[in-house]
Structure 1
Amino acid sequence: MELMDLLSRLEGVQGNGQRFKAKCPAHQDDKPSLSITTRDDGKILMHCHAGCEITDIVRALGIKLSDLMPPRAEDEHKGRFRERILKTYDYRDENGKLLYQAVRYVPKAFRQRRPDGRGGWIWNVEGVRRVAYRLPDVIKAVNEGAQALFIVEGEKDADRLWSLGVPATCNAAGAGKWGDGETSSLAFLPESIEVVILPDNDLAGAKHAAEVAYQLRRAGKSVRVVDLPGLPDKGDVSDWLDAGHTVEDLWRVCGLDKPEKAPEVTVVHEPKPAPDFHLTDLGNAQRLIFRHGQDLRYVPAWGKWMVWTGKRWEVDESGEVQRRAKETVRSIYEEAAREVDDQRRKALSDHARRSESEARIRAMVTLACSESGVAVTPDDLDADPMLLNVANGTLDLRTGELRPHNRNDLITKIIPTAYKPDSECPTWLKFLHRVMNGDEDLVCFLAQAVGYSLTGSTREQCMFFLYGTGANGKSTFLETLRWLFGGYAAQAESETFLVRRSDQVRSDIARLVGTRFVAANEVEDGRRLSEVLVKQLTGSDRITARFLYRDFFEFTPTFKIWMAGNHKPIIRGTDEGIWRRLRLIPFEVTIPPEERDLSLMDKLKAEAEGILAWAVDGCLTWQTFGLTVPDAVRDATASYRDEMDVLGEFIAEECRVSQSVQVLAKDLYEAWKRWCEDNGEFAGTAKRFGMKLRERGFVAEKRNGKTYYVGLTLNLT
């Protein structure tokens, strides 16, 4: 144990250096009868002149005899070093006389001492007048016309502000220790001086600020409490300055200046007049919504809070709602500080203390979920398919008009690029013309398709498939757009849109909710497209999905699927229902090695504003003319359909089509199975085979117990 620790446990301490006197804790001591000394080796000696045993003394102090022994070498090796004084802070009266000191130690600890009049110290401040820190400096600053006096929680912060030319003070011993002495020492402050309290960002700081504000207001001073924006938990004004803020920022945030432009975030804690909330959990919930409700929404279907960031609504995954609930508790102390009725003030203070418990904070947040105007449904979010959130505002894609971000739009996503309609993207356009082999119609189609993808509309009911061998720009194209679309984009596995080998929870579909651009790369050779799913996802009907271990929910797709691959997925269907949804975009140019630019992605990202402007132009064109499909896309899609038409190939090779002929169904199916086996195709059942024939217009007739197909027959061998 260190000597200072021991002295702090005793009363009536007097002395200096290595010799002290104090009241003995082992008996009723009216005058100091306990001597305390230290030997050169660090051992602490105590002797009661009234005759108390050392064992009784240490027992009364709540320590052990071994605590009086000097630290061992191995203890010091383990880091148990003796304390040393790091810095002292003088507390002087109006005339500069030293009244007492606050002493800071290493390891971090604080104690107070007063002069004994003989060049030494008495390690307590009993009976000493208490004053505000740096009182002579404060008086001088006021006399020289200071506009404000800042009150902080510690001498270090006060000195930091003085070093920047800002008058500041505090009390000794930290939060909760401001008393009548400090208040009376500032009685000279004129009405023109604004007292600004800067609390540390914790509950202790809030309590301290509320108490200081109450005492100074009762003394007739003009006081405001300011929460510095962006403070970390337990942060103080020094942390705020260390984060890059300036004195000018401080004055603006505190409302002591009138800058031409307000700071981006200003939190002046002078709350608007609040209703008289009850001192209950429900009252606290109503306080939370009163103070922060405009920036909070709750989604019952998800069981999650959302917080307004200034540009969009974001699911709270960082505990922001909890932090605002804690701030609401701190505000109750400020309610108490403003209350003039002593009984009501005490009730508020008691309620604030009770509200600090984890259970009360949890109850506040839980009850706030159902307050009026707080709850929203998933369908309420991102509801307008023609609004696009970008870095510098919200873009109405119907008109191309940019307006400020608005929390009432309930937008949850954002493209982290500013929309500047005059921006250009020469590298992007050069890239597109190269990979499209100079086909201007294809480049224009891509602009319309990408512009259409900016919206939440699915009226075209189509998906895009980029096809071609390697080194042709498909991946660069998709990756650039996926990056550009930001929160509106999602990367999906191609497996998502293919026939599954197992029936598992489709959480991969659930995670696409609310997106507008979905990219999927590399389809394995021989895999089948899930035609039913693609029809659902490219339509306008509501579909069902769920996350793993969560309930099912319904949503309306807003995304456009962009797949790319060196292999085309197999499509069994021959109906218009699937083929009218396919837009196969050919990437037929192979970029030679000497042309490949390894820094191309970086160059394209540097043109983000220009590419966004290009896409918005494409969107406006699409709304005027629709999705104008060029011949290259139409021909490539038709060729793809022919390639997938296995039954048509069989009929062309093995059958003759004529209204005057017929064939026995059994014979036709047997021929089909042999042909499929020879060509490595899947034959399927006779029932499915018959269904596909009927889709092509071939009629089945039964005669004499046998089934015939009319309109075709097998070729004679």
Structure 2
Amino acid sequence: MSWTKDDVRDEMDEQEDEEEEILWIDKKGKIVEGAFCAWFLQKHPLMCLDQKLFDLDGEVNEDRLRHEIHQEIRSVARNDTAKKTKRIVEAIKMETYHEEWDVQLDRIHLKNGTYYLDERGFVPEKELCLNRFPVEYLPDAPAPETWLDFLNGLLMPEDIPTLQEYLGYLLIPSTKAQKMMILTGRGGEGKSRIGLVIKKLMGDSVQMESIHRLETNRFASANLEHKLVMVDDDLQMTALPDTRNVKSIVTAEDKTCIERKGKQATQGRLYVRLLCFGNGNLIAVNDSSDGFWRRQILISVKDRDPNRVDDPFLIDKMAAELPGIFLWALEGLKRLLANQYRFTLSERTRKNLEAVMADGNNLDQFMASAKYLRFSEDGAARSTHLFCAYSRWCVENLETPVSQKRFSQFLFKSAGKYGLTFSKHIGGEYRGYKGVSVRPDCALN
């Protein structure tokens, strides 16, 4: 029998494979889990954080990992391969356990390497990371003309820099700007396509979720751990029952409580940012505070051009421009960082927020109604009379009144704003405020 070079090479490969197998199989032919983990991690570096595995490409799909391990052991594990595979995965988690992972604000992990935001710039080397984007860094990538044309048709020119900075903000795991973005319109403008492009740009770092679920489902925030952005592409028109979770996520600077079904609640770090698209503004049932509003950037899109012909391949065309779109977003990030995390906001966007704040707070609207109230130094009004006048105002203006308790809290907190002084001796022994009076003809019928 004559041997060719290929035969010799195949025989040597088989011998090397046998030698490798000996490293994690004992004399009885059983798998030594510790030895297998050491061997496997040499060719597939991993780390475990919060019971999740990460490799050079970010978060690991455990089903895919189990399949890979199963393929390695199936020829020697005669039976119970599923159980052995599961046990090895758990052993790898214990072997690669990390209690903490420092948030990396100075770099962006890309398909072909790492981009540093300092003088190092781009390097082709990769490292273990929590988030890696499925897009390559190409410094000479052409300008994304389709993307820019799309934005020019969707937004006013003065609002495009704001979106550019916000999308750049999403590239790093930071919540320092403490802002969420909402794009609103009448419908059909194509604004939610921005979310689809972001998903293609950032891959598994994007979580598609409803902002209302964050407030109504206590387990929803667990899905946002280790994500860079949550996209709500169809913002509900109903008011949020609470705003505690949304505000804590937008402003997160430390660990927060995270609950998962069937597990003990733990402390986890969320650095996800919220990007929403809808036909109305985000409102809350019981929160009209400045703290709720100042965390929002509200951008109104242009109305849909009635003569526009939709392109069914638009997303595919923009996906072909991802390297250029990344460079465009990177430019926005650098501008945001140079401005100390303060966004470039147009006067139009500022007025949008002011208008929504006024519309979402009928208490301030009532206090500005000269038909119902008169402000003067000698004025005085009982709290009950003020609430009756407010209720009457709501009836006549088709507004939903807040509860008596919330109305009372509003008056107490806003007394200084309106020049009022709280007193327990209005008209004798009644609680109320000095500096205001209710017009006699405005009592509730």
TM norm structure 2: 0.84
Instruction: Give the whole-Å Cα distance in 1 for the aligned partners of 2:139 and 2:378.
Output: 65
- Superposed, 1:348-497 pairs within 5 Å as 356-358=78-80, 361=84, 365=88, 368-369=91-92, 373-377=95-99, 379-380=100-101, 383-398=103-118, 401-407=121-127, 409=128, 411-423=129-141, 424-437=143-156, 439=157, 441-497=158-214
Query: Is the 8 Å Cα contact of residues 24 and 39 (structure 2) preserved in structure 1?
Result: no
* Corresponding position of 2:224: 512
Superposition deviation, residue 620 in structure 1: 1.3
* Corresponding position of 1:693: 411
Once the two structures are superposed, residues 224-283 of structure 1 have per-residue CA deviations (whole angstroms, 9 ceiling, x without a partner) of 2349xxxxxxxxxxxxxxxxxxxxxxxxxxxxxxxxxxxxxxxx6486899899769998
* Corresponding position of 1:570: 283
In structure 2, the CA distance between the partners of 1:149 and 1:527, relative to structure 1 (3 Å rule), is closer
Superposition deviation, residue 448 in structure 1: 0.8
AA aligned to 2:114 is: T
Query: Is the 8 Å Cα contact of residues 661 and 713 (structure 1) preserved in structure 2?
Result: yes
Instruction: Give the whole-Å Cα distance in 1 for the aligned partners of 2:24 and 2:85.
Output: 22
Gapped regions of structure 2 (runs ≥ 5): none
AA aligned to 2:392 is: R
Superposition deviation, residue 404 in structure 1: 3.3
Instruction: Give the whole-Å Cα distance in 2 for the aligned partners of 1:695 and 1:281.
Output: 75
Superposition deviation, residue 489 in structure 1: 1.0
Instruction: Give the whole-Å Cα distance in 2 for the aligned partners of 1:300 and 1:485.
Output: 21
Query: 1:655 aligned to 351, 356, 373, which one?
Result: 373
Query: Is the 8 Å Cα contact of residues 104 and 172 (structure 2) preserved in structure 1?
Result: no
2:344 pairs with 1:628? yes
In structure 2, the CA distance between the partners of 1:561 and 1:583, relative to structure 1 (3 Å rule), is same
Superposition deviation, residue 713 in structure 1: 1.6
AA aligned to 2:330 is: V
- Partner secondary structure for residue 474 of structure 1: coil
Superposition deviation, residue 583 in structure 1: 0.7
Instruction: Give the whole-Å Cα distance in 2 for the aligned partners of 1:281 and 1:367.
Output: 21
- Partner secondary structure for residue 618 of structure 1: helix
C-alpha RMSD of the superposition: 3.3
AA aligned to 2:96 is: V
- Partner secondary structure for residue 386 of structure 2: helix
Query: 2:33 aligned to 278, 281, 285, which one?
Result: 285
- Superposed, 1:260-339 pairs within 5 Å as 269=17, 284-294=32-42, 295=44, 297=46, 299=48, 301-302=50-51, 306=53, 308=55, 311-318=57-64, 319-320=66-67, 322-323=69-70, 326=73
- Superposed, 1:28-107 pairs within 5 Å as none
Superposition deviation, residue 595 in structure 1: 4.8
AA aligned to 2:433 is: Y
Once the two structures are superposed, residues 369-412 of structure 1 have per-residue CA deviations (whole angstroms, 9 ceiling, x without a partner) of 476x52234x43x84244332221222345582233534x3x24
**Structure of greater Rg:** 1
Instruction: Give the whole-Å Cα distance in 2 for the aligned partners of 1:493 and 1:615.
Output: 24
Higher relative contact order (CA 8 A, sep 6+): 2
Superposition deviation, residue 323 in structure 1: 2.6
Instruction: Give the whole-Å Cα distance in 1 for the aligned partners of 2:88 and 2:326.
Output: 40
Superposition deviation, residue 149 in structure 1: 5.5
- Superposed, 1:702-717 pairs within 5 Å as 702-703=424-425, 704-717=428-441
Query: Is the 8 Å Cα contact of residues 112 and 136 (structure 2) preserved in structure 1?
Result: yes
Instruction: Give the whole-Å Cα distance in 2 for the aligned partners of 1:483 and 1:662.
Output: 61
Query: Is the 8 Å Cα contact of residues 298 and 349 (structure 2) preserved in structure 1?
Result: yes
2:402 pairs with 1:684? yes
551-560 or 282-291: bigger deviation: 282-291
In structure 2, the CA distance between the partners of 1:484 and 1:642, relative to structure 1 (3 Å rule), is same
- Partner secondary structure for residue 192 of structure 2: helix
2:286 pairs with 1:547? no
Superposition deviation, residue 696 in structure 1: 1.2
Instruction: Give the whole-Å Cα distance in 1 for the aligned partners of 2:24 and 2:225.
Output: 42
Instruction: Give the whole-Å Cα distance in 1 for the aligned partners of 2:86 and 2:325.
Output: 48
AA aligned to 1:428 is: W
Superposition deviation, residue 368 in structure 1: 3.4
Superposition deviation, residue 297 in structure 1: 4.0
Identity across the alignment (%) = 20
Instruction: Give the whole-Å Cα distance in 2 for the aligned partners of 1:273 and 1:600.
Output: 50
AA aligned to 2:305 is: I
AA aligned to 1:196 is: D
Instruction: Give the whole-Å Cα distance in 2 for the aligned partners of 1:566 and 1:468.
Output: 5
AA aligned to 1:578 is: F
Instruction: Give the whole-Å Cα distance in 2 for the aligned partners of 1:665 and 1:590.
Output: 48
In structure 2, the CA distance between the partners of 1:646 and 1:364, relative to structure 1 (3 Å rule), is closer
Once the two structures are superposed, residues 128-157 of structure 1 have per-residue CA deviations (whole angstroms, 9 ceiling, x without a partner) of xxxxxxx2xx1xxx5xxx4x252xxxxxxx
Superposition deviation, residue 590 in structure 1: 2.4
- Superposed, 1:10-25 pairs within 5 Å as none
Once the two structures are superposed, residues 601-621 of structure 1 have per-residue CA deviations (whole angstroms, 9 ceiling, x without a partner) of 222122111111111111111
Superposition deviation, residue 520 in structure 1: 0.7
Superposition deviation, residue 562 in structure 1: 0.9
* Corresponding position of 1:637: 353
* Corresponding position of 1:49: none
Superposition deviation, residue 307 in structure 1: 6.7
- Partner secondary structure for residue 712 of structure 1: strand
Q: How many residues align?
A: 425
In structure 2, the CA distance between the partners of 1:705 and 1:601, relative to structure 1 (3 Å rule), is same
AA aligned to 2:152 is: H
Instruction: Give the whole-Å Cα distance in 1 for the aligned partners of 2:320 and 2:199.
Output: 15
Superposition deviation, residue 465 in structure 1: 0.9
TM norm structure 1: 0.54
Query: 2:236 aligned to 524, 533, 558, which one?
Result: 524
Once the two structures are superposed, residues 540-580 of structure 1 have per-residue CA deviations (whole angstroms, 9 ceiling, x without a partner) of 23222223333322222211111111112324534332121
Superposition deviation, residue 664 in structure 1: 1.2
Query: Is the 8 Å Cα contact of residues 585 and 636 (structure 1) preserved in structure 2?
Result: yes
Instruction: Give the whole-Å Cα distance in 1 for the aligned partners of 2:332 and 2:88.
Output: 45
AA aligned to 2:431 is: T
In structure 2, the CA distance between the partners of 1:684 and 1:547, relative to structure 1 (3 Å rule), is same
Superposition deviation, residue 639 in structure 1: 1.2
AA aligned to 2:116 is: D
* Corresponding position of 1:349: none
Instruction: Give the whole-Å Cα distance in 2 for the aligned partners of 1:273 and 1:322.
Output: 13
- Partner secondary structure for residue 519 of structure 1: strand
